[in-house]
Chain A
């Protein structure tokens, strides 16, 4: 196992290097960049443009810029944002707790909803309950995110009133502006965005859970277990669920990096100061240092969670071996 992990580590570093080159190349190939913010300002003289290009290092060829970036990064310097001039890692650190809070809560709520409902839906296949769940789950997948978000805000924030005459639930931000921090206030602000994210992502988990269960329920080992006179509960959780978990674990692995990456649309609609928006804003302004930092950390997390998933496979299903 140790030698396997070491090999994966070496592969991961190589992969990250390749990814960094691809991403850097792509970002450089995007037309416009930070300079297009000034394009309609006719007061900017050609000398001004030249000075700015030099300041941002954009007067150098792309490979030189990449090597400089790589060299600095390896020494722990990820560069400063073109826009805010603050260190890229600082920009990320400011938003990371918010992102993890939102996405972590979402993941917990999702799993709490989706796993039991998916199992139940499979056990009661084609019952009314199953149909309603299926319908709701797919509605979550087939309508644009902004719809859901706005409908939630319109219902719970703009229309329904709380005891104090204000909105029942706040529709944006993390805290009430101008108020000292308190936990209850934060939780109230989290309800709508977490609900929306969970609603959308639960749909996927539920469908996968349901179908995996349907797949394993009629299998021999489940029947054998039943035949041995084990209780329905034991059969379900000891045998069926375990094997149905593989897709769920895969799915979790796919989602894990987003604990860091955030969710752009939800953050936008609910004005949540997370990484998703940081990335989007940086992308719109081609803010290299921030973009590279966000994307490289994100890539590292993808690679790490894929490895984690592989290890978890062997725990769920001991017959799986890693080589």
Chain B
């Protein structure tokens, strides 16, 4: 009888587990959902206007270390400090530059060297001090100081910053800085402290800003409580009494809390969470998403992976991937739409271009999925099917390694699907993942990207709002990491095209948006012809939220979900 008892206990346990999992719930819809990544409009807004009061709890998987933007190293820090700290010009929910503490977008001189900001008057920091040009100057000094952890691109080119009066700031550049609009996206008040001791400022954990909120309490590892800034310039706003940011390191837990209404917003979701979000629809949960301009992409190594960071990549070509026909064939073998429709629940757009969105968008035709044509190209290139179906040339197998961040669910799925798709055309794809720190490691710690020790990489990157530094860093031949430049640059494909170099250089010396867009579009088109990288799909910023939270938006800029928080209100 003893085995019977064991069996019973097994069955009891199994049924407990099954019951807990909600029995046989419907599987994730595979193809139903339409491709609609734009922010979902709140359902039929009630005629009654905003209601004041209430607390909104926001779940965040990460905790910020500091709220001083000049010391920030993670996107959560930018997002949360944006509730408190504002800039002269910031990125709005449409992905466009919008004046915030400036009256309007800054004026730029004919020669592009002088940028003039008109500042809003009667703006006060949360400590009651007025905001003036002196704070702009202090911010510049802070960014350029020794302890700063901010990027100094553009700021370093400012020769002088003059304050003709309290509400005008004139920046004179030593050379044209095309993406000048990205500068001064935050303002640090001059009362923050002495620049030589920036690391120990009280400001870092208790920032002072002009934004709608100020920090009341920070419980390490647990939560940050924000309350209204009494000096906020828009009367009656923010509508809400308080925002509480809860650190919820497990997204699964966060999702449950969103369902019960214990939290109203869950920040930093990923595409893999779509099925779970859909399942929460009937519990009053919806989501906002913004296209970031970043692509999930494949990086092909055009140089020989066995040569350590070749000085002249053209002289050490990759034995397989340096052949354009092979790269074309690989792209044709990928059914991007199928990946999007299934793995990503159809909620994102297929990748087409390095510049998919925003002011400088240059969308291109999606690549054709055509395995037959791909096979033909490989035949032409001299790769013929061997015994096991994998192609060979001169005794060498057409076998490639793909490397991505280990443990990332969607990436692991994508890699396995790609391996399957490549197998159809006789190409072997071996998966060899590493932790993300190892993948993104720098030159000194033997980073495999920096040293060119890979065949194909899979990760996400993109130009963000202004493509200037991204295109230069990732596609310009001067940005191929070598021992000579101590591994500077992100051109990991070791892609060299003189035209592309020229267009990128030209664009960086003009401030006219239309002219720049034209040049960048040429770059994007040429990249799609040369295929150093394959754009699989466009990445999204996603936040889940309760339907009764009104005016919640996701912005593709660094402020992310904090954009427009003064307008949030809770429908009773």
Contacts and interface: CB of A to CB of B under 8 A. Distances in A.
A and B touch in the complex (CB under 8 A): yes
A3 interface: no
Contacts of B148: 51
B151 A268 contact: no
B15 to A, nearest CB: 13
B406 interface: no
Most-contacted residue by chain A among B148, B244, B250, B474 (CB, 10 A): B250
Most-contacted residue by chain A among B219, B445, B469, B486 (CB, 10 A): B445
B250 A45 contact: no
A262 B450 CA distance: 37
Contacts of A286: 437
A42 B478 CA distance: 13
The bracket for how many chain A residues form the interface is 35 or more
Contacts of A154: 20, 256
B490 A40 contact: yes
Interface in B153-194: 153-154, 156, 182
B5 A85 contact: no
A38 B73 contact: yes
The bracket for how many chain B residues form the interface is 35 or more
Interface stretch (B36-44, B63-71, B118-126, B312-320): B63-71
A263 interface: no
A311 B13 CA distance: 41
Contact of A271 (B246, B259, B446): B246
A18 B196 CA distance: 36
A32 interface: yes
A84 B253 contact: no
Contact of B219 (A40, A273, A285): A273
Given A45-B152, A126-B2, A174 B222 contact: yes
A264 to B, nearest CB: 9
Interface in B208-222: 219-222
Interface in A118-151: 126, 128, 131-132, 135-136, 139, 146, 149-151
A135 B440 contact: no
A86 B535 CA distance: 41
A150 B71 contact: no
A273 B220 contact: yes
Contacts of B461: 40
A168 B310 CA distance: 62
A125 B47 CA distance: 70
A178 interface: yes
A94 interface: yes
Given A167-B260, A172-B257, A178-B55, A83 B66 contact: yes
B203 to A, nearest CB: 11
B65 A81 contact: yes
Nearest to B469: A42
Nearest to B1: A128
Contacts of B437: 30-33, 36, 284, 286
B96 interface: no
Interface in A144-163: 146, 149-151, 153-155, 157-158
Given A38-B73, A52-B149, A95-B220, A31 B252 contact: no
A153 B255 CA distance: 11
Contact of B152 (A47, A135, A172, A269): A47
Interface string B58-79: 0000110110000101100000
Given A154-B256, A170-B262, A273-B220, A84 B440 contact: no
A177 B223 contact: yes
Contacts of A43: 151, 153-154, 182, 469
Given A158-B260, A178-B55, A135 B10 contact: yes
Given A83-B66, A171-B256, A271-B250, A155 B20 contact: yes
Contacts of B146: 51, 55
A135 B257 contact: no
A51 B70 CA distance: 13
Contact of A98 (B154, B221, B446): B221
Most-contacted residue by chain A among B21, B156, B220 (CB, 10 A): B220
List the 8 shortest-distance A-B pairs measured between CB atoms, nearest first.
Answer: A273-B221, A32-B437, A83-B65, A42-B473, A31-B441, A94-B220, A43-B151, A32-B441
13 contacts: A32-B440, A42-B473, A48-B152, A51-B146, A55-B146, A55-B149, A85-B199, A131-B6, A131-B9, A172-B248, A175-B222, A268-B250, A271-B253
